[in-house]
Structure formats: structure tokens, C-alpha cells
Structure 1
Amino acid sequence: MTDAWELVLHHTYGGPPGMIFDHSPTRRSHGQAVNLSDADFARDGAAPGSGAVHLHSDTTMIRVPPSQSWAPLGGVRIEIVCETDLIRHGGRLVTADSFLFDTGNGYFSGEFNQSHGGSSVVTEGGSNPRPLPPEQWVTVALQYDPAGVQVEINGDLVSRWDGWNGLLAHATGLVIGNDLSGRNGLSGRVDDIKIWRLNPNLVGSVFVERPMPVDVGRCWADWSRRLDEFITTNPHCWDRLTTLVPRAMFAMMSAVAALPNVQADFAELSNRYRQLWSEGRLGEIPAVLADIIALLRGQGFDPARIADLQALLNDGCLSSVTEALPLDCDAEFTDMFSVSESF
């Protein structure tokens, strides 16, 4: 199954002192220790043998050089396992030229620059009235995606902001434990850090997981070529759709996630859908979609109330694409969505 998020950085600091390997699948985000000695790398961190790096002055940091992992981004999720005192004392956890993750006096903040030049900020708590955990180590997370911004402590959501201004701009590398000036470092130990981006190949990867006849594949290839021509001649429309489509998708996901008592059944039906898709059994998918619709309807789910979805469906650019590029390659594909008209 293809995931909506792609892991692009994973540091554990458990290797040879001073050598910071990226354990993400792409292996493109190795770290460069700055003003850190071998003594600043410990074998033990949050657990025996897990490794940790001790950031201890205004100028200590870890730099991650530019790579294809940071362009495009679209969205970002950052998870850090660190000493609780590091969060309590505050400072810049992660900095890039399109996003940052800050903490100060027990509070968190994130700042994000969108590809169209806008920005959005979330600032929420970790100190009173939501005190930090008493344990020595804590896991904190910040996530920006088209559904909004959220902050988590030890897996629990502590703050959410539902505004969204567009796809996150690409970054040219990043700094861990400092700002871009390199003069405002953190003080404390970091055990583990993971960073994901929105998977830029999600739609294409999921689509090609399905087996299809050769003639249908050729037809889709021609449709894709004509789409490229449309993008070239209608850049404004394409820019709008690259904003509206993920917003609608994540708004739907967020609305479903907020429904009570449906998550287990929804996950089971979703897995069934993906299985049928990957096996090319599209004729059986409408029945699964009908079950999903019935499940969501039973909890009062109404797509007409999702503003971002309606904005997409009523946008003139979507109409322009569907008129210029009708989906007439693959009757089995288009027929399986006829059941959605009952929503």
C-alpha cells in the first residue's frame, strides 16, 4: 500500500560518534555535525543503545544539505524524541527556509511558507494548562498538511489549527537544533528525529498498482500526454487545482477521522478497497464503496458540508479539465464510481 506520507529523514545518533546517517528509505538526508565533538554523542538515549546527541551551546547544530527529498514538500510532519527539559527550556528544534518548529517556555509554534508566498502560524501549549509529562524523555510532533496544523505530545493531540493556505514550498536543506543563522542553539539531548513530506507520487503510485490490459494502459498514457499539454497551456488552472485537490482530499480525511465509532469499520473497508484495486477486481469495488457510503451516512457525514470539497467540485478549472480530458479510456474504472452519485 502506498502511504500519503514519505519518510525523508530519520536520524538516530546511535552510530559512530559524529557520523549522522539517514535511515530513511532514500538515504539522502545525512547530517553534518557543527561544533559538536565525539563526546557529544552518547550510546544511550531514551533507551539503552538508542543513541543521543547533546546540543549544548548557541552554535551547536546538525545541518542537512539540500537534496531531492525537500523539493517538492507540499506538507511536513516532524517527530522528535528529546529530553523533556529541552522542550521546557525552549528554542528552535528544526529550521528550513519554508518551515520551522519552535518551542519556548513549554509552548510550541510552527511557521510555514506556502508555494504562493503566503504564511500561516500555529502557537499552542505544552506548559500550563497542559503541563509537560514528568518523564525525562518526550516525543513531540508538528504536522502541516492540507487539513491544517497540529501539535502532539507523546502521540496525544494537544493543539489543532484548521486553516490552510496552500502547498508548502520546497526547502533547500535544513538545520536541527538551531536557526538558519547558527547562533541560537538548543540545550539538551535529542534521541531520534523523523521528518516526512507529503508523498509527491501518491496518486500515480496507487494508480499503477492496479493491473490493466495493454490497450487500456496505452490509452491512459495518451491521456497523460494530453494532460501535460493542458498544464502547459493552462498554468493558472493547474496551479488552482494543485491547491484545491489536496485541500479537498485532506478535508474529507479529516472529516471522516472526526466521526465517532466508525474508524475500525472504515479502515477494514478501505483495506478491502485497496486489495481489490491492487488485484484489478474493479467490478467488486462498487459494493465496497456502497458499504463505505452507508457507514458514513449513518454517522451524519455529508460531503455537501465540506467547504473545500465543494470549492473543488464547483471550480471552473475542474470543469475545464474534465471537458478537455474526458475519462473515456477505462469504462471499468469510471463505472466503479457510479455508486458515489448516491452520496
Structure 2
Amino acid sequence: MAALWELICHHTYRGIPGVVVDLSPSGASHGQVFGLDDGDFLADGLATGSGAVRFYKQDGRIRVPTEATPWQSVVGVKGEVTLRRQPSIGFIIDSDAFQFHIRGNTLDMPVAWFGGYPNQNAEISTVFDSVGPQPYRIPSGPWVTLGFMHDGFGTMELYADGEVVARRTGVYAPVKSPGGAGLSIGNALSSGGLSCSGEIDDVKIWRLNPRRIDDEFYSRPMDRQTAECWKRFRQQIEDAFQRHPDCAKQIGRLVQEAVDSFIRQANAQGPETQSRLLRAAKEYNRLWREGKIDSPEMADVFIDLIGWLRIAGIAPDDNAALASLKNSACWQLILGELTPLDCDRQFMTLLRVVTDNLGDGRRTKVTTA
């Protein structure tokens, strides 16, 4: 199975005071120190020699630039911070794309906020989304490892020492990428006196693995001839986009608008529709990995989902944004330069079922050779 997460930032704060090195595979998230002295970098943290940074000054923070490639496509994000705090409110991590903090009236309860695009924000806290009988409270004094997660679609979670302490499910907009202001650790992005007031030993941030779709796609049982067929088809798409760069941009924008529109409509229908979408996605992934692409079970996943969406008033074939994509001159131009994908019988069978049911709502039977 494809790795779901990709580590894009890892700080340990050990070594030379004031020098913050990114230990993630890309090495693209080194820290820039503001308002801190060498004495604020400690040799010992959670363990002897592990290193830590003390945050208590009004403008003390570590900025992480986010211009590098790993930050340009986030979609889903996960973070983990090992810290020891004093009783106070403040930011642990801050950016215009996601935040992890202890906020005003929540006192010692963690909150994570995520900025979706275009303007679909989401938030989770142990105040309103606790999974236990009592909301989790961050202790003052001992070391604790806290975490947050937004999977880019249907689940947000908060963690404490490896245990889930809050969870919220639904259909959420993907997390946008941080802007040019970057990421702030230990204080608010604008350093306005909202320090986390404590010591941070370790910071890790992951993004949703951008290669997961390709990895999952090729995780299905596939013979060599079919794999080579898909390789040729994808190369045709890349070549067509290179020949028509303006169309490539337009199609990318229209696809995003269609996705955003669908997410907004699904969110408006409430938890039952959101739950059905999540169940359909999980069943699709299972059948895909098992190679049951053209099976009656796979057809049922799409037929039942399309039927439910029609009842809920958000049928994909009635989506104006999707219609704009399908009717665009660029879409027709690119399709016209591609060779029909007839070499993958299983996939084409599934595609026929989906398009038939989107077209007129009739239930298409699946027959396998």
C-alpha cells in the first residue's frame, strides 16, 4: 500500500544554538530564528542531549520558509510537537494554511485550525470534539507529545502521546498551501506576543503524499501489457499539456472548481451524505487493491452512490462546474489528441457503468468475461 504521508519538516533543536536544521528527506524546511538568544537553545529536552528551545519572549519564534516544492501542494497535513508548557495561551504552530494552538477561553485545551480553498475553513478542538468522557487538557510541567491531522477530505484529529483525544468527520475542503509569510513555530506568525510559553523539543510536519494516487493506482493487480498501456496514455496527456500550456492551466483550474463545488454541496447535506461518501471511498479502495475493477461489487459502489447523490440533490451530472469543464474547448482539444484507452478492459467496463448511470440514471449490469 502507498505511504499516506510524506515528512516535509523535522526539527530537533540539538546542536549549535541558533542553527535550526531540517532533518526531513527534502531538507527544505530549515528554521530562521527571530527574537531568541543562544541561551534559549537548551542542550537537554525530553531526554539528555535531545535539545530544546525555550519560548517565552514576546517576539521569539522560529520561521520556516514555505517556498520550497514540498510546501506547494499540501492538501492534507499532519503535525507532531513534543513540548513542555507553562500555564498560558499561545501558538505552537501558526501559518495562514493551518494552526495549532492553545486559545483564549479553552485555557489548556488544544485547537487545530485548517484553511481550505477557496474559503472553506475547518477547526477541531478537545472542547467540542472530544473522543473521551472529558476533554483532554494539556498538562503544565511534564513533557507531552501533541499532534494534529487533517486528511484532506473527511477526518480531522488531535492526539496526545499517541492517543486520539479529539476527532471530527465530514467532507472538508483540502488544506491550502502556506503563503509567502511561511510557518511560525513557538509564536504567532506576526510575533505579537502569543508565545506558546514553554519549551519545544521536537517538531514534525507531514503532507499528504502527492504520489499516493499513482502508487495506489498501480497497487491493483495489473499485467505488463496493461501497465505499459497506461504509461503510454499518461505520456500522451503530458505531451498534450506541453503543446497546449494555456489549456493545461485552464483544465487544472476547472477541475479544482468542480471539486470545490462538489465539496461545498456535500457539506451542506449534513452527516448522512458525508458518511455515505466516506464509506463509498473505503469500499472503492478495497475493491481496487483486490483487482475487482469490473466486478458487480465495484459497480454497486458507484451506482448506489450516484443514486444517493441524486436524492440528496447533488448529482455529479448536474454540477455546473463539471459541465463547464466537459464543455470547454480546451477539454475537447486535449481529448481529441488522445488515443482511446481500449487496452484496459476492466477499467473501461467500470467507466462505461459510471458514464451510463450518470447519463440517464439507469442501472447498468456488469458482466465479466
Q: TM-score, normalised by structure 2?
A: 0.67
Contact (CA 8 Å) 2:108, 2:138: kept in 1 or not? no
Structure of larger gyration radius: 2
Contact (CA 8 Å) 1:75, 1:197: kept in 2 or not? yes
Distance 1:20 1:34 in 2: 12
Following superposition, the deviation at residue 115 of structure 1 comes to: 3.3
One-letter code aligned to 1:91: G
- Find the counterpart in structure 2 of residue 174 from structure 1: 183
Contact (CA 8 Å) 2:75, 2:177: kept in 1 or not? yes
Evaluate the alpha carbon distance shift between residue 108 and residue 162 of structure 1 in structure 2; reply closer, same or farther with a 3 A threshold: farther
- Find the counterpart in structure 2 of residue 262 from structure 1: none
Evaluate the alpha carbon distance shift between residue 109 and residue 316 of structure 1 in structure 2; reply closer, same or farther with a 3 A threshold: same
- The within-5 A match list for 1:117-196 is 118-122=119-123, 124-125=125-126, 129-132=134-137, 136-144=142-150, 145-154=152-161, 155-160=163-168, 162=170, 164-172=172-180, 173-184=182-193, 185-196=195-206
Contact (CA 8 Å) 2:114, 2:123: kept in 1 or not? no
Structure 2 alignment gaps of length 5 or more: 267-273, 355-363
Distance 1:107 1:217 in 2: 49
Structure 1 alignment gaps of length 5 or more: 260-265, 277-284
Contact (CA 8 Å) 1:140, 1:152: kept in 2 or not? yes
- Find the counterpart in structure 1 of residue 360 from structure 2: none
Of 202-211 and 187-196, more deviation after overlay is shown by: 202-211
- Find the counterpart in structure 1 of residue 341 from structure 2: 329
Evaluate the alpha carbon distance shift between residue 43 and residue 70 of structure 1 in structure 2; reply closer, same or farther with a 3 A threshold: same
Following superposition, the deviation at residue 98 of structure 1 comes to: 2.6
Question: In the TM superposition, what whole-angstrom CA distance separates every residue of 1:140-194 from its partner, at most 9, and x where no partner exists?
Answer: 2222322153323333132426362454144322110111222322210111111
One-letter code aligned to 1:114: G
- Find the counterpart in structure 1 of residue 51 from structure 2: 51
One-letter code aligned to 1:124: S
2:28 corresponds to 1:14? no
Distance 1:169 1:76 in 2: 10
Distance 2:201 2:31 in 1: 14
- The within-5 A match list for 1:234-313 is 234=251, 237-243=254-260, 255-256=278-279, 285-286=291-292, 312=316
Evaluate the alpha carbon distance shift between residue 4 and residue 243 of structure 1 in structure 2; reply closer, same or farther with a 3 A threshold: farther
- Find the counterpart in structure 2 of residue 95 from structure 1: 94
Equivalent pairs, count: 317
Of 67-76 and 197-206, more deviation after overlay is shown by: 197-206
Distance 1:82 1:306 in 2: 45
- Find the counterpart in structure 2 of residue 60 from structure 1: 60
- Find the counterpart in structure 2 of residue 282 from structure 1: none
> Over aligned residue pairs, what C-alpha RMSD do you find?
4.4
Evaluate the alpha carbon distance shift between residue 35 and residue 313 of structure 1 in structure 2; reply closer, same or farther with a 3 A threshold: same
Evaluate the alpha carbon distance shift between residue 306 and residue 31 of structure 1 in structure 2; reply closer, same or farther with a 3 A threshold: farther
Question: In the TM superposition, what whole-angstrom CA distance separates every residue of 1:203-229 from its partner, at most 9, and x where no partner exists?
Answer: 245556776565653233114444675
Contact (CA 8 Å) 2:95, 2:178: kept in 1 or not? no
- Find the counterpart in structure 1 of residue 269 from structure 2: none
Distance 1:138 1:304 in 2: 47
2:83 corresponds to 1:78? no
Of 183-192 and 323-332, more deviation after overlay is shown by: 323-332
Identical residues among aligned pairs (%): 25
Of 196-205 and 171-180, more deviation after overlay is shown by: 196-205
Distance 1:238 1:9 in 2: 29
Contact (CA 8 Å) 2:97, 2:175: kept in 1 or not? no
Evaluate the alpha carbon distance shift between residue 25 and residue 241 of structure 1 in structure 2; reply closer, same or farther with a 3 A threshold: farther
- Find the counterpart in structure 2 of residue 4 from structure 1: 4
Look up the SS of the partner of 1:238 in the other structure. helix
Distance 1:257 1:21 in 2: 42
Distance 1:189 1:11 in 2: 13
Look up the SS of the partner of 1:243 in the other structure. helix
Contact (CA 8 Å) 2:83, 2:143: kept in 1 or not? yes
Of 225-234 and 63-72, more deviation after overlay is shown by: 225-234
One-letter code aligned to 1:255: L
2:124 corresponds to 1:114? no
Evaluate the alpha carbon distance shift between residue 311 and residue 111 of structure 1 in structure 2; reply closer, same or farther with a 3 A threshold: farther
- Find the counterpart in structure 2 of residue 263 from structure 1: none
Contact (CA 8 Å) 1:82, 1:138: kept in 2 or not? yes
Evaluate the alpha carbon distance shift between residue 215 and residue 168 of structure 1 in structure 2; reply closer, same or farther with a 3 A threshold: closer
Q: TM-score, normalised by structure 1?
A: 0.71
2:226 corresponds to 1:217? no
Contact (CA 8 Å) 1:82, 1:192: kept in 2 or not? yes
Following superposition, the deviation at residue 109 of structure 1 comes to: 2.9
